[in-house]
């Protein structure tokens, strides 16, 4: 349960509750996760429509970058202040949806000739990964132990550091070719990131299950749902990027 979003520290901040009628439950978290997912899809559909209806597709730039900024800021606030999750999570979902709609539309148009179903395939693969990892967790094929968590945290922070370096170099006009290109090495790196993102779902599931078993406050359902959405969005973007690289070969 050491996902950078769903952290052990969140348990300490939330406190416990004896009244289990007002405690966090798995069913309640699933409902809220589905609601946030619906909001992401609805917002994404809006910017997708704007992109294809507009004479100038660049008109979605404001929606896309605005959504990214809003989602990032709210994600930071929610991560450190779990009690804000019930209020801010829906706005996070909307912002993330606006951004994803624009990104998806751009990919869909850019790869219309080589991979006409790239967005649909990405959605299917993302949902399939989520279901497979849920099965893996429920069947205890992979257990979320302390060792597993340490390995995952090392992988996650390594990826974050790599993203940061790539961003900084990009500001100075330097591109890391083996990462941004479509070489075999670049594809393997993207595939490895997709695998890490998929296995991160195990920590999300574990957090939700253990928090529910321990009777944490009801608002933690929103926090658990929010953390799950963060991972799913990341997984979706990485799969979309991977399919884009593969289609260029």
At 102-124, the pLDDT tens digits run 999 999 998 988 888 999 999 99
Domain housing 16: 11-248
In-domain check, residue 223: yes
Q: How far apart are CA 235 and CA 171, in angstroms?
A: 25
Q: Which helix (H) or strand (E) holds 207?
A: helix 184-213
Q: Which of 63-72, 82-91, 132-141, 181-190 has the lowest mean pLDDT?
A: 181-190
User: Does any domain span residue 5?
Assistant: no
Mean pLDDT, all residues of the chain: 88
Look at residue 244 and tell me if it is in a domain: yes
Burial of 143 (0-12, 13-18, 19+ CB in 10 A): exposed
Q: Is the pTM of this model over 0.85?
A: yes
> What is the three-class DSSP state of 228?
helix
Q: Give 144's pLDDT tier (boundaries 50, 70, 90).
A: very high
Residues in CB range of 113: below 8 A, 6 or more apart: none
The pLDDT of 191-217, averaged and rounded, is 96
4 within domain boundaries: no
Domain annotation covers residue 1 = no
User: Residue 1 has what pLDDT?
Assistant: 40
């Amino acid at each position: 349960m050491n996902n950078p979003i769903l952290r052990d520290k969140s348990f300490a901040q939330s406190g416990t509750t004896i009244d289990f009628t007002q405690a966090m439950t798995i069913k309640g978290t699933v409902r809220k996760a589905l609601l946030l997912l619906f909001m992401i899809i609805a917002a994404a559909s809006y910017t997708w429509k704007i992109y294809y209806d507009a004479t100038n597709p660049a008109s979605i730039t404001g929606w896309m970058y605005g959504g990214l900024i809003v989602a990032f800021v709210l994600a930071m606030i929610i991560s450190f202040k779990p009690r804000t999750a019930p209020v801010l999570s829906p706005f996070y979902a909307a912002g993330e949806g606006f951004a994803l709609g624009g990104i998806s539309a751009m990919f869909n148009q850019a790869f219309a000739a080589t991979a006409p179903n790239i967005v649909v395939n990405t959605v299917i693969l993302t949902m399939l990964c989520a279901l497979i990892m849920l099965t893996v967790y429920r069947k205890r094929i992979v257990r979320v132990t302390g060792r597993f968590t340490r390995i995952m945290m090392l992988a996650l922070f390594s990826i974050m550091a790599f993203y940061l370096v790539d961003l900084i170099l990009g500001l100075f006009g330097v591109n890391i070719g083996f990462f941004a290109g479509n070489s075999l090495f670049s594809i393997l790196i993207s595939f490895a990131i997709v695998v890490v993102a998929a296995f991160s779902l195990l920590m999300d599931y574990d957090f939700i299950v253990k928090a529910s078993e321990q009777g944490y406050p009801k608002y933690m359902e929103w926090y658990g749902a929010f953390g799950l959405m963060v991972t799913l969005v990341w997984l979706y973007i990485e799969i979309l990027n991977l399919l884009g690289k593969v289609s260029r070969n």
